[in-house]
Structure 1
């Protein structure tokens, strides 16, 4: 039997080398495509981070509006700066006052600003109590003065001072700006009249 058959494969060759090489090329292209996609995703991530960082830097370095400044208070004086208290003199205690009582008068003047209200008047001695006429609270407008009668009552003669040195009155004042308590030292004549009134109130001549 004669004839020419299909050629035998040469040494070192395989029938499946061609198809395997084709499949390997496909996988190589797929791997390259995957790496390119990863590179693109990385580049996009870096770009997004750069945008965020740039935005944060712009936010941090943006010009800030100036802090609000505290507006000065309108030209309203503190009540202690607008008020003066001067001593006028002694006077008899009003009718109906309890025994061992006496009265002293002062003048409260308001120089400027809004009206000033006297909310309280006190004195430093525990053995004395006092009331005022007009009774507190009372109001005094600016550029005016008000006479105040202070009636003191000796509650314990044993604890009352016999020689009042530098006595003062504590007056609590209020206007539209503040509430303040001021100690007014009324001078030597007030100290002398107070000492004399205490001596009379606690002597045998007291009623």
Structure 2
């Protein structure tokens, strides 16, 4: 049995060998060049990673700047006190009534002082008894500044003996005070000396009249 093997290429019919002989490695493929490219690639990657970390949710790159010191908070203005909190009135002594005072009149002096805050103006001074009338010198209104005091002469007149206290225990004066915050009516109890003076003046004015 005979067989035919694979045909042999004839002369001039062998396939052309396209492989080129290996020459020297290009300069760009040396180890030093590869290392330099790697270093540049690493710096670029780190820069991109840093920028990505600084990106906000909206895609805005936030740049940190030196912060300015916060402005100094404004100093709160002190609250204006109520006039009754800073005003005091004390009894000084009895005084002779003015020369032009009507009969059955008696006078005494009080000292009104203002401790702090804006000026306080006294707009009215009254007393609670229907049988007595009252005037002041100086006449109201008058202002008094903080840290100062003013002496006031109060003159009362007995008008109805049946409606005056013959033995007053804690007589007082009602004083209307005003400052920039509010208007208040404050009752000042002037103490035992004023109570004795008032009772004596009523007794002198009314004499033996029916109580």
Question: Shorter-normalised TM-score: what interval?
Answer: 0.5 to 0.7
Partner SS state of residue 80, structure 1? helix
Using the TM superposition, give the Cα deviation of residue 73 of structure 1 relative to its aligned residue in structure 2, in angstroms: 7.5
Using the TM superposition, give the Cα deviation of residue 74 of structure 1 relative to its aligned residue in structure 2, in angstroms: 3.9
Mapping of residues 68-147 of structure 1, within 5 Å: 74-147=78-151
Q: Distance in 2 between matches of 1:144 and 1:201?
A: 35
Unaligned runs of 5+ in 1: 1-71
Given the superposition, is the C-alpha separation of residues 73 and 201 from structure 1 closer, same or farther in structure 2, using an over 3 Å criterion? farther
Q: Distance in 2 between matches of 1:73 and 1:182?
A: 26
Using the TM superposition, give the Cα deviation of residue 92 of structure 1 relative to its aligned residue in structure 2, in angstroms: 1.1
Partner SS state of residue 153, structure 2? strand
Partner SS state of residue 186, structure 2? strand
Given the superposition, is the C-alpha separation of residues 130 and 202 from structure 1 closer, same or farther in structure 2, using an over 3 Å criterion? same
Structure 2 residue 194 is matched with structure 1 residue 198: no
Q: Distance in 1 between matches of 2:80 and 2:177?
A: 14
Partner SS state of residue 174, structure 2? strand
Using the TM superposition, give the Cα deviation of residue 91 of structure 1 relative to its aligned residue in structure 2, in angstroms: 1.1
Partner SS state of residue 139, structure 1? strand
The residue that corresponds to 1:188 in the other structure is 192
Larger radius of gyration: 2
Unaligned runs of 5+ in 2: 1-75
Given the superposition, is the C-alpha separation of residues 75 and 193 from structure 1 closer, same or farther in structure 2, using an over 3 Å criterion? same
Residues paired across the two proteins, number? 133
Higher helix share: 1
Partner SS state of residue 165, structure 2? coil
Q: Distance in 2 between matches of 1:161 and 1:83?
A: 27
Given the superposition, is the C-alpha separation of residues 115 and 203 from structure 1 closer, same or farther in structure 2, using an over 3 Å criterion? same
Partner SS state of residue 193, structure 2? helix
CA RMSD of aligned residues (A): 1.4
Structure 2 residue 158 is matched with structure 1 residue 154: yes
